[in-house]
Amino acid sequence: MSSVSPIQIPSRLPLLLTHEGVLLPGSTMRTSVDSARNLQLVRSRLLKGTSLQSTILGVIPNTPDPASDAQDLPPLHRIGTAALAVQVVGSNWPKPHYTLLITGLCRFQIVQVLKEKPYPIAEVEQLDRLEEFPNTCKMREELGELSEQFYKYAVQLVEMLDMSVPAVAKLRRLLDSLPREALPDILTSIIRTSNKEKLQILDAVSLEERFKMTIPLLVRQIEGLKLLQKTRKPKQDDDKRVIAIRPIRRITHIPGTLEDEDDDEDNDDIVMLEKKIRTSSMPEQAHKVCVKEIKRLKKMPQSMPEYALTRNYLELMVELPWNKSTTDRLDIRAARILLDNDHYAMEKLKKRVLEYLAVRQLKNNLKGPILCFVGPPGVGKTSVGRSVAKTLGREFHRIALGGVCDQSDIRGHRRTYVGSMPGRIINGLKTVGVNNPVFLLDEVDKLGKSLQGDPAAALLEVLDPEQNHNFTDHYLNVAFDLSQVLFIATANTTATIPAALLDRMEIIQVPGYTQEEKIEIAHRHLIPKQLEQHGLTPQQIQIPQVTTLDIITRYTREAGVRSLDRKLGAICRAVAVKVAEGQPKEAKLERSDVAEREDTKGIVQFVNCVRSMVFHVCREHILEDEKPESISDTAELALPPEMPILIDFHALKDILGPPMYEMEVSQRLSQPGVAIGLAWTPLGGEIMFVEASRMDGEGQLTLTGQLGDVMKESAHLAISWLRSNAKKYQLTNAFGSFDLLDNTDIHLHFPAGAVTKDGPSAGVTIVTCLASLFSGRLVRSDVAMTGEITLRGLVLPVGGIKDKVLAAHRAGLKQVIIPRRNEKDLEGVPGNVRQDLSFVTASCLDEVLNAAFDGGFTVKPRPGLLNSKL
Ligand SMILES: Nc1ncnc2c1ncn2[C@@H]1O[C@H](COP(=O)(O)OP(=O)(O)OP(=O)(O)O)[C@@H](O)[C@H]1O
């Protein structure tokens, strides 16, 4: 064996004074630094240098550092351990404090203290030989017997342990391969010894003395273990393992770091983890990685930051449902009933979902398609996703993608990062515990992009049925098969979904609800749900359909039913207060009034009205007088408690405040220059008032209301078309000129000025509004319109017809003008809405104007004007 020249430590060392533990060469210790000189040492030697490893410290045991540097140094222990700092962790609050992880190299003795401030520096003499390769043969010759005896005890200690446990085998190997002269220090630091004993071992400079002193310590440990084994009944294999593992894990134990009990638990966990890896049904590749990692874990000291990382990784790997799945319940009839029970209306969506389930029933390993429900908020996209999982009998997990702008959110971080985590897909699988759940990717249209990559691109792999059986999360670093997962996405609009992602999904439009549908949804689903949530029964509250309609038209303006649900919640809360206030008296009344109750049916309506009025009066009374006790008394006396509280318009006003939306249409159309357009937004259809006014000026057109370029161009097109047709329609400016912009400025405004608007579909509305302005005629107050225009006066088709028609219906309008080529889209409009509205399909602007003005907007022949005849 080749011997290399001994390594020398520097002759001057900065001294770290410790008094809690004793660092022996070859062992590692955590020590806390909070006194003046030690802090100075850490700051100037460890934190300023480029690498921790470049600084060797002299660690002096059994010597407390004075709290302030004004105090003199205490007498220093003569022998210390030269050490390297492996890790420095610190904080400045509540006072400066560092924790050092230090590894001992060799003994030294202080020759002379050279400097005491800011931290002590001493001239030292190295006492142990430090060699890169131990010269074992030479050592054996020198110490002969003693070394053999020591080694025998060390081996005996190991052999008392269960060799089938890999950690024991490892300890055995370690004994063989480590330089024997280093063993007394290492074993002393890992077996149960006091600080005093450790100090004695440190002071034992001669190797012979050290062996002699360590042997009794080993013997004591062996005896202790024997006793322990005797007192424990060797019942089960597992118990044996637990006994066995305790002393073994000491090899990786760093004194002063963790409590012993914690250590034992940790070690048991590792055995369990290994067992789980062995028994888990993960694919071969993943299994190989796990076996490799657990081997590394066993060799690692627990204080290493990587220890926790590796352990977390392995725990995730064994927890993942590699092969665990639920059995699908594929009964189409039951699915239909369940979907119908959970959701009212949404016929198209339910039909497509049932088709999907039917195909699955016939072909079990169906790949794709990925369904994407697109529609305004609150129309039930998410809850249909949940119902699909319920019908299939699968686990459901929702992944909210709104605002996600880091691709690691989907794919995870590489394990090299501090705080690395798996992505949401793998996390979701861990949560549900099966590999075939329904994953609802909520709000895919709101994915962001940032410097951290594009999460939409990461989703491409997840959603591609051809690729996702091999999905590799960066954290796992092995492939996981996602092909069994049923992905459903939801979005408010397709406009912001990247094209490649859109291409992988089948879009199913979920339009907003009509008023009638909302009433049904409220009575079948929302009200019962709210009653249950508030602990109320139908005997305590009655919400008639007219009240629901009032809430829908006057207190909400939405395509979905979320605000409606909230308002119903507010009503239930108010009623819950009344019911709770009245409860004790109710009990009394119940007994005496049972007979009466049977006869009251006929007068229920009347009493209900009184009750609702009293409810209303009571609230006002509370506000005015601030005397709740007397009011509740009045209410209780006046109201038979078994009657449900009726929510009529007055009660509604009391609870929800004055109506938020009034039918403003006819008011706003009371002067020329206003027309109603229909707009599509991701929140559903909206009606939009376009207003125009003219004033003296230089022919300028001003547009306000946050308009996009396309909309501005529509306005210019409209003006141009009207100017070119001014004579035909007898349109003049304020001075009677057919040149409409002659000395005239026009201002066009699109209210809801804070909302950005764009798109060509307001073209016909702008023309109608300006035609009204220049003709001085009023546009019909019950007409709304949509359509793109061309310079020659044609009307071109636009999108979102169904939502726009529903918005017109919600606003109580009677007629809708749409482009002729959009006629086919009316098929999607519910029958009752079609019945309530009349539709004008226009292919040119003449037809639009004729429909928008009472009596038409026909060309009036001008008197005295001759028609030319060629
Ligand atoms: N047709 C329906 N029948 C019964 N309940 C419905 C219906 N539509 C919506 N709801 C109820 O409305 C509430 C809101 O629905 P959900 O959260 O699914 O909306 P969403 O379309 O996913 O909205 P967002 O786009 O904001 O996520 C839920 O409580 C749901 O049960």
Condensed to tens digits (0 to 9), the pLDDT of residues 444-467 reads 888 877 666 778 888 888 888 778
Distance, CA of 107 to CA of 472 (rounded, Å): 50
Is residue 562 within 6 Å of ligand 1 at its C-beta? yes
Residue 52 has a pLDDT of: 64
Q: Pick from 6-10, 388-392, 453-457, 610-614 the range whose average pLDDT is largest.
A: 388-392
Is residue 98 predicted with pLDDT exceeding 80?
yes
Going by the annotation, the residues of the binding site are 375-382
Distance CA 66, CA 675 (A): 86
Alpha carbons 320 and 814: distance in angstroms, whole number = 58
pLDDT attached to residue 827: 87
The residue ranges of DSSP E strands in 73-154, in sequence order, are 79-91, 97-115, 121-126
Give the model's pLDDT for residue 613: 41
Evaluate whether ipTM surpasses 0.90: yes
**Contact assessment for residue 579 and residue 585, using Cβ atoms and an 8 Å cutoff:** no
Predicted pLDDT of residue 788: 93
Indicate whether residue 350 lines ligand 1 (CB < 6 A).
no
HEC per residue, 384-395? HHHHHHHHHCCC
Q: Residue 810: name the closest of 584, 563, 625, 569 by CA.
A: 563
User: How open is the CA angle 384-387-392, to the nearest 5 degrees?
Assistant: 130
User: What residue ranges of the chain are covered by domains with CATH 1.10.8.60?
Assistant: 515-656
Distance from residue 560's CA to the centre of ligand 1 (Å): 7
Q: Supply the pLDDT for residue 796.
A: 93
pLDDT of residue 143 exceeding 80: no
Give the integer Cα–Cα distance in Å for 338 and 333. 9
| Nearest atom within ligand 1 for CA of residue 561 | 12
Which residue's C-alpha comes closest to atom 7 of ligand 1? Answer: 380
Cβ atoms of 217 and 197 closer than 8 Å: yes
Query: Tokens 């760093």 label which residue?
Result: 254
Ligand 1: residue whose CA is nearest its atom 24: 377
CATH architecture for segment(s) 332-509: 3-Layer(aba) Sandwich (3.40)
What CATH number is given for 12-126 in this structure?
A: 2.30.130.40
In this predicted structure, what is the pLDDT of residue 525?
A: 92
CATH 2.30.130.40 residue spans of the chain? 12-126
Residues in the annotated binding site for ATP:
375-382
Q: Is the CB of 387 under 6 A from ligand 1?
A: no
What integer pLDDT is reported at residue 864 of this predicted model? Answer: 43
Q: What is the DSSP pairing of strand 12-17 with strand 121-126?
A: antiparallel
pLDDT tier, 816 (very low <50, low <70, confident <90, very high otherwise): very high
Average pLDDT over residues 89-112: 82
Report pLDDT for 815: 92
pLDDT at position 428: 92
**Mean pLDDT: which of 5-19, 725-739, 820-834 is highest?**
820-834
What per-residue confidence (pLDDT) applies to 787? Answer: 93
Task: Find out whether the beta carbon of 380 lies less than 6 Å from any atom of ligand 1.
Answer: yes
Q: pTM of the entire structure?
A: 0.55
Measured in angstroms, how far is the CA atom of residue 381 from the centroid of ligand 1? Answer: 6
Q: What percent of the chain has pLDDT over 90?
A: 16
Higher pLDDT, 770 or 138: 770
Q: How far is 28 from 659, CA to CA, in rounded Å?
A: 73
| Interatomic CA distance for residues 645 and 706, integer angstroms | 47
Pocket test for ligand 1, best of 373, 562, 563 (most atoms within 8 A of CB): 562
Give, as one character, the DSSP assignment of residue 603. G
| pLDDT-based confidence at residue 470 (cuts at 50, 70, 90) | confident
Instruction: Say yes or no: CB of residue 344 within 6 Å of ligand 1.
Output: yes
HSE toward the beta carbon, residue 362, CA cutoff 13 A? 5
Q: What is the pLDDT of residues 266-291, one digit of tens each?
A: 666 788 888 888 888 888 889 999 99
* Residue 814 annotated in active site: no
Query: Could you give the 3-state DSSP secondary structure of residue 110?
Result: strand
Q: Is 378 in the pocket of ligand 1 (CB under 6 A)?
A: yes
Q: Which class would CATH give 665-852?
A: alpha beta
CA atoms within 13 Å, Cβ hemisphere of 157: 30
| Contact of 514 with 558, CB cutoff 8 Å | no
Q: Provide CB contacts within 8 A for 491, sequence distance 6+.
A: 372, 373, 374, 443, 444, 445, 446, 497
List every span in the chain annotated with CATH 3.30.230.10. Answer: 665-852
The verdict on the CB of residue 712 being under 6 Å from ligand 1 is no
Output the pLDDT for position 133: 44
* Range in 140-144, 402-406, 464-468 the model is least confident about: 140-144
CA 519 / ligand 1 centre spacing (Å): 14
Tokens representing 664?
């403003």
Q: According to the model, what pLDDT value does residue 790 have?
A: 92
Q: Where are the beta strands (DSSP E) in 41-96?
A: 56-60, 79-91
Side-chain-facing half-sphere of 354: CA atoms under 13 Å: 16
Separation of 70 CA from ligand 1 center, angstroms?
71
Q: What is the pLDDT of residue 589?
A: 38
Given 147, 189, 387, 761, the catalytic residue: 761
Check pocket membership of 119 for ligand 1, CB cut-off 6 A.
no
Assess whether the C-beta atom of 491 lies below 6 angstroms from ligand 1. no
**Selection from 63, 704, 27 nearest residue 301 by Cα:** 27
Phi and psi angles of residue 679, each rounded to the nearest 5 degrees, phi first: -120, 150
Q: How many residues in total does the chain contain?
A: 870
The CB of 521 under 6 Å from ligand 1? The reply is yes
Q: What is the pLDDT of residue 786?
A: 94
Q: Tell me the CA–centroid distance for residue 337 and ligand 1, in Å.
A: 18
Q: Whose CA is nearest to atom 15 of ligand 1?
A: 380
pLDDT tens digit sequence for 297-339:
888 877 777 788 888 888 889 889 998 888 888 788 888 888 8
Closest C-alpha among 610, 530, 622 to residue 571: 530
Q: Which ligand 1 atom lies nearest to the CA of residue 524?
A: 4
Residue 236's pLDDT is what?
46
Question: How many angstroms is it from 688 CA to the middle of ligand 1?
Answer: 26
pLDDT at 605 > cutoff 70 = no
Class of domain 515-656: mainly alpha
Q: In this structure, which residue's CA is closest to atom 18 in ligand 1?
A: 380
Contact 486, 478 (CB under 8 A): no
Q: Which residue has the higher pLDDT, 52 or 832?
A: 832
Q: What is the mean pLDDT of residues 90-113?
A: 82
Is 761 labeled as catalytic in the residue annotation?
A: yes
Centre of ligand 1 from the C-alpha of residue 365, in Å: 30
Q: Which atom of ligand 1 lies at the shortest distance from residue 386's CA? A: 18
The finding on whether 518 has its CB within 6 A of some atom of ligand 1 is no
The CA 382 to ligand 1 mean position distance, Å, reads 6
Atom of ligand 1 nearest to the CA of 346: 1
